[in-house]
Chains A and B, each alone.
Chain A
């Protein structure tokens, strides 16, 4: 039997390689800076986003204005945070379909805690996030320990949370506690109400979660479980725990974004179709950003840029005055084209990284 893969270099057992000589052949070395940039997982979406940005800036006079930048923020910052959590789940090769419902439900829990249980605002936020994490733990437990596929588990969780939201709210919009339409207090301005509040949260959370993913055991095990679950278990990694905690993280970010948005808009609307759009846009941001749906590789920064791409696209189409009926069509086509470019560049990356 001949092994089908050819070793990239001599594998003579009696010729130990010396350190410095071997370091020269590190992947990506000897490439032009542009190609080396493209070999980054996030490289391709960065290029696509820049092209989109330049297109709208060149063709629309109002695109490059401070006012439009502020308009763009809510199109992008919340998705960047919610996608950051989803990256941890999708890098495992799993998916969390309940993030939209978690986003919908958490503000109503917060509202109920303040109005009915008379919790102080900050405590209510903390308790709401803890509940979100625990609900994520329930999903994670069913997936990791009972073995229900994540698609089904989180689909169930989606409808449960949508249902509970409708019951609790009596299908009526509520005013978010701690906010008022006329005045933005400290509490509200920190948690979503301030103009740049969501942007700052998004950047902060993305930095922390990217560091968690690429520089800690948590992240390393996430990639390991997503790439080879049995092998990870054989290496001694507690794979079930890795799965549960990532679902907890994902649920927490989704709940947090729900709160930020409810505070920013001063209202919480029990609208499951709106939250489903949030879910799909977040997943789109993750995938466009370069995270593999099959697991084993993911990037939080990529998801942020994926969210930025979607935000620019949404906002740009509105500014260009595209007929509202055409918006979804263009959005869909743009996502497909972005993915095609992504895959093409990924092929360049694979070719370049070899040996």
Chain B
């Protein structure tokens, strides 16, 4: 990827690889007075796990929500497997092969594990409009077994499950839709080490056993280097750093972030004194 300089600022330019499944170029998005994304360039290779890092409000979640069809970009272009990608909504994105596990997991607390797994993809006794719970329960068990997730009862409301189990169900739901690209918004947020390890284990298994490509929003460098092939850093609405994890280190990432804080602090003080 080309590193470009725009008025002293470092911005990663559009990059590509032969086996890309997804490419985003010059994506911008504004919410009222806030320019959430200015000029974002990201690409994702087949089977690759890409970590998205960045400060709160840097634009990570906005980018994920654009990819997932929840928001529309103001500018820029997106390609999915060589064709133009302009998802009309979340359903449309899913149909095209991109599924998202949002930070709030989009689980319905009051519904059972298997109803959540099949939410908006219910099996019916067609042509009758009734839910075929038997088939959904059986397929849910099979799918969870396949990815090695142990949920004792599929009939309990998901409200009763632990954070890790809930995350696993949300991931299982994304996989079940046979998506080729899965976006995970902070999959390890608010989770203990043991539960986090279970999710990282799940991601590693998906990487080893499937050709699913993943974009993960993460905060913890240990997680980034444990599970990701490449890391992109979003700062202030642009991607400012992009490198394979094998070619960088937690120290280098730390330095960039510390530098960002130093600049932000200087700017804040400048505002206070002027």
Contacts and interface: CB of A to CB of B under 8 A. Distances in A.
Interface of A: 1-3, 5-19, 22-23, 25-27, 211, 215-217, 220, 223-224, 226-228, 230-237, 296-297, 353-355
Interface string B106-134: 11111100010001101010000111000
A26 B131 contact: no
B131 A6 contact: no
A131 B120 CA distance: 31
Nearest to A214: B131
On chain B, which size bracket covers the interface?
Answer: 35 or more
B120 A235 contact: yes
A354 to B, nearest CB: 7
Given A17-B145, A220-B115, A234-B70, A228 B163 contact: no
A22 B156 CA distance: 12
A2 B162 CA distance: 11
B262 interface: no
A3 B192 contact: yes
A195 B109 CA distance: 44
Nearest to B119: A235
Nearest to A295: B110
Contacts of A228: 104, 106-109
B153 interface: yes
Contact of B153 (A5, A26, A217, A231): A26
A224 B155 contact: no
Contact of A236 (B91, B124, B191, B197): B91
8 contacts: A1-B191, A2-B192, A11-B164, A14-B201, A228-B104, A234-B100, A234-B106, A236-B91
Contacts of A7: 161-162, 164-165
Contacts of B202: 13
A16 B153 contact: no
Contacts of B149: 13, 16
Given A3-B190, A217-B131, A236-B91, A25 B152 contact: yes
Contacts of A234: 70, 90, 100, 102, 104, 106
Contact of B106 (A15, A211, A235): A235
A16 B148 CA distance: 5
Given A3-B164, A236-B89, A223 B108 contact: yes
B141 to A, nearest CB: 5
Contact of A227 (B100, B109, B138): B109
Nearest to A14: B148
A237 B162 contact: no
Contact of B105 (A18, A223, A226, A231): A231
Residue among B108, B115, B153, B155 facing the most chain A CB atoms (10 A cut-off): B108
Contacts of A6: 162
B150 A13 contact: yes
Residue among A25, A230, A231, A297 facing the most chain B CB atoms (10 A cut-off): A231
B190 A22 contact: no
Contacts of B150: 9-13, 15-17
Contacts of A236: 89-91, 94, 120
Contact of A223 (B110, B145, B161): B110
Given A3-B163, A16-B150, A230 B104 contact: yes
A23 B153 CA distance: 6
Contacts of A297: 110
A8 B120 CA distance: 27
Contact of A355 (B91, B105, B160): B160
Residue among A7, A8, A233 facing the most chain B CB atoms (10 A cut-off): A7
A228 B120 CA distance: 14
Contacts of A226: 110
A3 B145 contact: no
Q: Which 9 A-B pairs have the closest CB atoms?
A: A231-B106, A234-B106, A7-B162, A236-B91, A227-B110, A296-B110, A16-B145, A3-B192, A236-B120
Interface in B142-181: 144-146, 148-156, 160-165
B198 interface: yes
A26 B113 CA distance: 12
Contacts of A353: 156, 160
B111 A227 contact: yes
Contact of A25 (B90, B153, B195): B153
A3 B195 contact: yes
Contacts of A227: 108-111
A13 B160 contact: no
B126 to A, nearest CB: 12
B152 A8 contact: yes
A234 B192 CA distance: 25
A234 B65 CA distance: 10
B192 A1 contact: yes
A242 B153 CA distance: 29
Contact of B198 (A9, A13, A232, A237): A13
Given A10-B150, A215-B131, A26 B155 contact: yes
A26 B154 CA distance: 8
A223 B122 CA distance: 14
Interface string B50-85: 000000000000000000001000000000000000
A296 B109 contact: yes
Given A5-B163, A16-B150, A224 B119 contact: yes
A17 B91 CA distance: 31
Nearest to B68: A234
A121 to B, nearest CB: 31
A230 B102 CA distance: 10
B90 A19 contact: no
